[in-house]
Chain A
Amino acid sequence: MASPNSVSQPPSIPTGLSVEQLLDLYYYMRLTRSLEERLAALYRQTKVVGGLFRSLGQEADAVGSAYALDQDKGDILSPLIRNLGSMLVRGATPVEVLRQYMAKAESPTHGRDLNIHYGTPEQGFIGQISHLGDMVPVMGGIALSFKMRGEDRVALVYVGDGAMSTGTFHEGINFAAVQRLPLVVIAENNGYAFSTPTAKQSAVKHLADKAAAYGIPGVRADGNDVLAVYEVTRRAVDRARSGEGVTLIELETYRRKGHAEHDDQSYQPTEEIARWEADDPIDRYVRQLTSSGWSTPAALADIDRRIADELAAAVALVEPEAMPEAGTALAGVCLDPPEAEREWYDRG
Chain B
Amino acid sequence: MPEVTYLAAIRQGMWEEMERDENVFILGEDVGAYGGAFKVTDGFLERFGGQRVIDTPISEAAIVGAAAGAAHMGFRPIAEMQFIDFISCAYDMLTNYVATARYRAGLPTPMVVRGPSGGYVRGGPFHSQNPEAAFLHTPGLKIVCPATARDAKGLIKAAVRDEDPVLYFEHKYLYRRIKEDLPADEEILTPIGKARLAREGSDLTIVTWSAMVFKALETAEQLEAEDGLSVEVLDLRTLLPMDDEAIMASVRKTNRVLIAHEDTRTGGVAGEITARINNDAFEFLDAPVKRVAAHDVPLPYAPSLEDFVLPQTEDLLAAARWLAAY
B-binding residues in A (CB < 8 A): 108-109, 112-113, 117-121, 126-127, 129-131, 134, 136-146, 148, 167-168, 171-172, 174-175, 178-179, 332-336, 340, 344, 347-348
Contacts and interface: CB of A to CB of B under 8 A. Distances in A.
Contacts of A178: 57
Given A134-B93, A171-B62, A335-B164, A141 B103 contact: no
Contact of A333 (B77, B102, B105): B102
A250 to B, nearest CB: 21
11 contacts: A109-B105, A112-B103, A129-B96, A141-B65, A141-B68, A142-B69, A142-B70, A171-B62, A175-B57, A332-B102, A335-B108
B42 to A, nearest CB: 22
A171 B67 contact: no
Interface in B32-75: 51-52, 54, 56-57, 59-75
B72 A142 contact: yes
Contacts of B63: 175
Given A131-B96, A131-B97, A120 B105 contact: yes
B107 interface: yes
Nearest to B95: A131
Given A129-B96, A171-B59, A335-B108, 12 more contacts: A117-B105, A127-B105, A129-B100, A131-B92, A134-B97, A137-B66, A138-B97, A140-B66, A141-B77, A146-B73, A148-B51, A334-B142
B108 to A, nearest CB: 7
B70 A333 contact: no
Contacts, number: 138
A333 B92 CA distance: 18
A140 B62 contact: yes
B168 to A, nearest CB: 16
Interface residues of B, number: 46
A335 B103 CA distance: 9
Contact of A138 (B51, B69, B75, B108): B69
Nearest to B111: A141
B70 A141 contact: yes
Contacts of B140: 333-334
Contact of B105 (A118, A139, A172, A179): A118
B279 A175 contact: no
A127 B75 CA distance: 19
B19 interface: no
A179 B56 CA distance: 9
B68 A138 contact: yes
Contacts of A131: 92, 96-97
Given A134-B93, A142-B72, A334 B102 contact: yes
Given A126-B107, A171-B61, A175-B57, A141 B97 contact: no
A180 B115 CA distance: 27
B163 interface: yes
Interface in B81-104: 92-93, 96-97, 100, 102-104
A112 B104 contact: yes
**Which among A112, A168, A178, A336 has the highest number of chain B CB atoms within 10 Å?**
A168
A144 B108 contact: no
Nearest to B55: A178
Contacts of B6: none
B140 to A, nearest CB: 5
A119 B63 CA distance: 22
A136 B103 CA distance: 21
A168 B62 contact: yes
A87 B60 CA distance: 29
Contact of B73 (A127, A142, A332): A142
Contacts of B164: 334-335
B106 interface: yes
Nearest to A142: B69
**Which among A108, A127, A148, A332 has the highest number of chain B CB atoms within 10 Å?**
A148
A333 B72 CA distance: 16
B61 A137 contact: yes
B224 interface: no
Interface string B258-288: 0000000000000000001001100000000
B71 A141 contact: yes
B107 A168 contact: no
Nearest to B244: A347
B92 A168 contact: yes
A136 to B, nearest CB: 7
Given A109-B105, A119-B105, A134-B65, A141 B72 contact: yes
A175 B69 contact: no
9 nearest A-B residue pairs (beta carbon): A141-B69, A137-B65, A141-B66, A171-B62, A145-B73, A171-B59, A175-B62, A142-B69, A113-B104
B241 interface: yes
Contacts of B279: 347-348
A139 B69 contact: yes
B105 A136 contact: no
A175 B59 CA distance: 8
A168 B62 CA distance: 7
B63 to A, nearest CB: 8
B195 to A, nearest CB: 16
A80 B71 CA distance: 21
**Which among B60, B63, B73, B92 has the highest number of chain A CB atoms within 10 Å?**
B73
Interface in B203-253: 241, 244
A332 B109 CA distance: 13
Contacts of A145: 69-70, 72-75
Contact of A134 (B71, B92, B102, B105): B92
Contacts of A171: 57, 59-62, 65
B139 interface: yes
Nearest to B164: A334
B25 interface: yes
A120 B63 CA distance: 21
**Which among A108, A144, A146 has the highest number of chain B CB atoms within 10 Å?**
A144
B107 A137 contact: no
Nearest to A150: B51
Nearest to B72: A121
A121 B108 CA distance: 11
